[in-house]
């Protein structure tokens, strides 16, 4: 995928992203790391077009991310699964396929099952999100995002509310998605997953991209801040 950030700034009451210029081409799985409050979630929301920057522009694969055509081509996985609690895992997916993509019911069921199977939920189709583990619910939300056939999947700390075992289940299921050939941009504190899954890493500090490169920057950090970060997260 191609990422092009031009004079990108974003403020809430204070400046959160500070005049970022950044170009990247040819990577499929980009991890954004950094301490809490460094601006990772804000950057991810701007990359996905969920939020409009205060200043500057974001282009992904040569498209302005604020275009509705781009927004239809991406999926976003949040920290919490956001499934409808009153619907089964299967219905959570079919309803979206029917309502937003105009699929017929049978067709929607077939697509939903395909992605639930891929996320190892074949035996959980008819369960409510309340009656499955947090990891299973999060995997179902990943299946839901995938069922819309996005070109790029954004994930913001998808396992932050899970224990280590469930985290492992979710992240190893995501690793298996490599075969789909999708693009991923994600924020996580699980460095073992970053090492296994990312082919490029962006390290943020105080609203800036301080250091970036292939995963070996984790072993040979150039900046003092990334060195310190690595000591803390290990
Ligand atoms: P990270 O994901 O790296 O923890 P964020 O992008 O969430 O960082 O936040 C960066 C800074 O912006 C933090 O100081 C945070 O408090 C602030 N911030 C984030 N979202 C909002 C918001 N919706 N309103 C006000 N301030 C926000
Ligand atoms: Mg965040």
Of all protein residues, whose CA lies closest to atom 20 belonging to ligand 1? Answer: 42
- In this predicted model, what pLDDT tens digit does every residue of 154-188 receive, in sequence order? 999 999 999 999 999 999 999 999 889 999 999 99
Taking residues 217-231, report their average pLDDT.
Answer: 97
Split into its structural domains, the chain has a count of 2
**How far does residue 206's CA lie from ligand 1's centre (Å)?**
11
Of 130, 149, 168, the residue at which a domain comes to its end is 149
Is the residue at 160 inside a domain?
Answer: yes
Tell me, what's the pLDDT at 47? 98
Say whether both 59 and 157 belong to one domain: yes
Say whether both 163 and 218 belong to one domain: yes
Q: In 48-118, where does DSSP find H-type helix? A: 68-71, 89-101, 105-118
Tell me, what's the pLDDT at 207? 98
Please, what is the average pLDDT of the chain? 96
Residue 119 · residue 142 · CB < 8 Å: yes
- In this predicted model, what pLDDT tens digit does every residue of 26-82 receive, in sequence order? 999 999 999 999 999 999 999 999 999 999 999 999 999 999 999 999 999 999 999
Of 149, 164, 190, the residue at which a domain comes to its end is 149
Residue-range definition of the domain harbouring residue 207: 2-73+151-233
Residue 96 · residue 147 · CB < 8 Å: yes
Is the residue at 78 inside a domain?
Answer: no
Taking residues 85-105, report their average pLDDT.
Answer: 97
Say whether both 29 and 136 belong to one domain: no
Say whether both 31 and 92 belong to one domain: no
Listed residue (225, 197, 208, 206) closest to 28, CA to CA: 197
Helix H or strand E segment including 43: helix 40-47
Tell me, what's the pLDDT at 161? 93
Listed residue (48, 79, 40, 80) closest to 157, CA to CA: 79
Residues contacting ligand 1 via CB (< 6 Å): 12, 16, 34, 36-42
**How far does residue 66's CA lie from ligand 1's centre (Å)?**
20
Of 125, 149, 173, the residue at which a domain comes to its end is 149
Say whether both 180 and 223 belong to one domain: yes
Is the residue at 79 inside a domain?
Answer: no
Collapsing DSSP to helix, strand or coil, 200 comes out as: strand
CATH code (residue 36) = 3.40.50.300
Percent above pLDDT 70 for the chain:
100
Say whether both 138 and 161 belong to one domain: no
**How far does residue 189's CA lie from ligand 2's centre (Å)?**
10
Tell me, what's the pLDDT at 62? 97
Percent above pLDDT 90 for the chain:
97
Tell me, what's the pLDDT at 89? 98
Q: Residue 234: is its pLDDT beyond 80?
A: no
Residue 208 makes CB contacts below 8 A (sequence gap 6+) with 17, 18, 20, 39
- In this predicted model, what pLDDT tens digit does every residue of 103-123 receive, in sequence order? 999 999 999 999 999 999 999
Of all protein residues, whose CA lies closest to atom 19 belonging to ligand 1? Answer: 42
* pLDDT grade for 233, boundaries at 50, 70 and 90: confident
């Amino acid at each position: 995928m191609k990422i092009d950030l031009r004079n990108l700034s974003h403020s809430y009451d204070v400046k959160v992203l500070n005049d970022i210029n950044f170009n990247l081409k040819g990577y499929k799985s980009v991890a954004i790391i950094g301490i809490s409050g460094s601006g990772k979630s804000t950057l991810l929301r701007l990359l996905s077009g969920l939020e409009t920057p205060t200043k500057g522009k974001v282009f992904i694969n040569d498209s302005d991310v604020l275009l509705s055509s781009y927004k239809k081509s991406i999926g976003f996985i949040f920290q919490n699964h956001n499934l409808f609690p009153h619907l089964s895992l299967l219905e959570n997916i079919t309803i979206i396929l029917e309502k937003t993509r105009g699929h017929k019911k049978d067709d929607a069921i077939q697509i939903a099952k395909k992605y639930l199977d891929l996320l190892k939920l074949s035996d959980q189709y008819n369960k409510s999100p309340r009656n499955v583990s947090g990891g299973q619910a999060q995997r179902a939300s990943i299946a839901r995002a995938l069922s819309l056939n996005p070109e790029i999947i954004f994930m913001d700390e998808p396992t932050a509310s899970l224990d280590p075992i469930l985290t492992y289940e979710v992240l190893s299921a995501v690793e298996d998605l490599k075969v789909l050939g999708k693009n991923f941009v994600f924020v996580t504190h699980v460095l073992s997953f970053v090492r296994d899954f990312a082919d490029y890493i962006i390290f943020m500090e105080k609203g800036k991209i301080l250091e970036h490169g292939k995963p070996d920057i984790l072993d040979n950090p150039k900046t003092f801040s990334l060195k310190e970060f690595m000591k803390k997260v290990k």
